[in-house]
Every structure is written in structure tokens, then in C-alpha cells.
Amino acid sequence: MKNKRGWIRIFEAVIAILLLLGFAAFLIIDRVEKPDFSGSVHTLLSTVLEEASGNFAIRQAVFDKNETIISNFISSRLPAGLNFTISICNSTGPCPTEVKQGVEVYADDILISTNLTTYAPAKLALFAWIEPREAEEYVPPVAACSNSKIEGTEVCDSTNLAGQTCISKGFIGGTLACNSTCGFDTSGCTKAPACTDNDKDGYSTNGGACGDVDCNDNNANVNPGVVEKDDLCSNTVDDDCDGAINDDDIGCGGTHGKP
């Protein structure tokens, strides 16, 4: 009888040890760090959206809410294993969408403000995720600068500027280029001049690239855009900044100044 009880205690001890080992293994597995792709994926989404915003056909597809064209464009720029969906919504509100539950979702969006004929701001949102079974096999794309393909964190590559120009980058003209690290080189772009307009009438005292010269920048009623006639023909003021006043001005029946 004593031997039987001894074997029972040994059996219980073995079971207890196995349970402890199983619990310990669970803790170790749970603590193993999962690969973190958040940085590379967010950068990739941002790059793809920037390229989309500079592509006229994609911009038009956003205004037309043609998700097929947009999805085909994005699919050709994302690596295998990175699933995605898009949403087109109002520029001021959130972009609702249906994404798979139980996965980590990466999201980014960009404002598409206008096309050549319509001012109708819209927001293009991009949601991406990696299937759990694919996460271990997913390899973030590695950029290869100077191959004319925009990849990874690149915003341009060689002569491929992703549809961007000096004007789209906030300048008034010039030639946009791509540097050796696949970033934009704006050294060839022309900055807008600093135009002084104290009276806020849309005319500056600077002239040149700032437009016609305002001869009185402290009076919004005096500028090159004024038509000098009627009551303005007797106020002894060069209202339209053409060098002629009152009856001497062409607008008042004279022979000087601008018509």
C-alpha cells in the first residue's frame, strides 16, 4: 500500500513539473519580440501617397471616386505580402473603412486639393496590414537609389520626380531635381519674391515680379487697378498710379496716363 502511495506522489510531482515547464515556455514565447515594420511601412505609404498626389490621372480618379484606378496604381507600388485598402472622403472628416480584424493596421492619408477645372478638396486614405502568417516572411523593400524607380523611403530617383515640380513644392518656377540620396533638390527652383503690400490692396511697391507698382501703399483706394473716372476726376489724386490726375488723365477725358 505504501509503495502504491509513493508512485502516486511521484506521478503527481511529474505532472506538476510538466505544468510549470509548460507555463514557463508560454512566457518565453510570449516575450519573443515580433519584427517591427511600422517605420518602413509608414514611410512607404507616405511615399506612395505623395506620388499619387502628383499624378494627374490619379488625382482625377480621386475626384471621380474611381477606386479601381487608384488601387491598381497603389498595388503596383507595394511589395507582395502587404495588403491594403483605400478610402476617399471629405477633406475635413475621418475616412472610415473596413479592415481585417486582429491585425496591426498602418494608415496614412493625403489631401488632394484641386484639379484644372474643379476645386473640390478630398482626402485619400491608405490602410495597410500584414497577415499574421506572412509577417515572418515579409521583408521591407530596400531602396536602390539611381535606378529611376521610387522605392522605400525615396521621394524621387534620378529623373523620376514622381510628378513633382518646383511649383508643387511651393516655388514660383525653376527646375526641380533629385539628389544622390533620392531626395528633392530645390536649388534650381525660384522662390517667390518678398512683396510689400501695407494696405493689402493686392499691389506692391516692389514692382518686377511683384507686379505693377503701387504708388501709395498706405491707401487701398489708390493702386494700378483703379479706373480713374467720374468723381475721381476732381480729387487731385493719381488714383490709378499712371502719373496723370484729374482732367489730364485719359480716364477723365485727358491725353495722359493709361487708357
Q: Looking at the structure, do residues 185 and 125 belong to the same domain, yes or no? A: no
Q: Looking at the structure, do residues 48 and 135 belong to the same domain, yes or no? A: yes
pLDDT digits (tens, 9 = 90+) for 190-221: 987 788 889 998 898 888 878 889 999 899 99
Q: Is residue 252 over pLDDT 90?
A: no
- Cα–Cα distance measured from residue 63 to residue 86, given in angstroms and rounded to the nearest whole number: 14
Q: Looking at the structure, do residues 82 and 165 belong to the same domain, yes or no? A: no
Range of the domain at 169: 151-192
Contacts of 224 (CB under 8 A, 6+ apart): 203, 211, 212, 213, 214, 215, 240, 241, 242
Q: Is residue 20 over pLDDT 70?
A: no
Q: Looking at the structure, do residues 127 and 178 belong to the same domain, yes or no? A: no
pTM strictly above 0.75: no
- pLDDT of 26 reads 46
Q: Looking at the structure, do residues 85 and 157 belong to the same domain, yes or no? A: no
* 241 touches 231 (CB < 8 A): no
Number of separate domains in the chain: 2
Percent of the chain with pLDDT over 90: 16
Beta strands in 18-92 (DSSP E): 82-90
| Residue for grid cell 482626402 | 123
Q: Looking at the structure, do residues 50 and 137 belong to the same domain, yes or no? A: yes
Q: Looking at the structure, do residues 133 and 166 belong to the same domain, yes or no? A: no
Q: Looking at the structure, do residues 116 and 47 belong to the same domain, yes or no? A: yes
Partnered with residue 87 across adjacent β-strands are 125
Mean confidence (pLDDT) of the chain: 78
Q: Is residue 45 part of a domain?
A: yes
- When computed from its CA atoms, the radius of gyration of the chain, rounded to whole angstroms, is 33
Q: Is residue 21 part of a domain?
A: no
What 15-21 contacts at long range (C-beta under 8 Å, 24+ apart), as own/partner pairs, is none
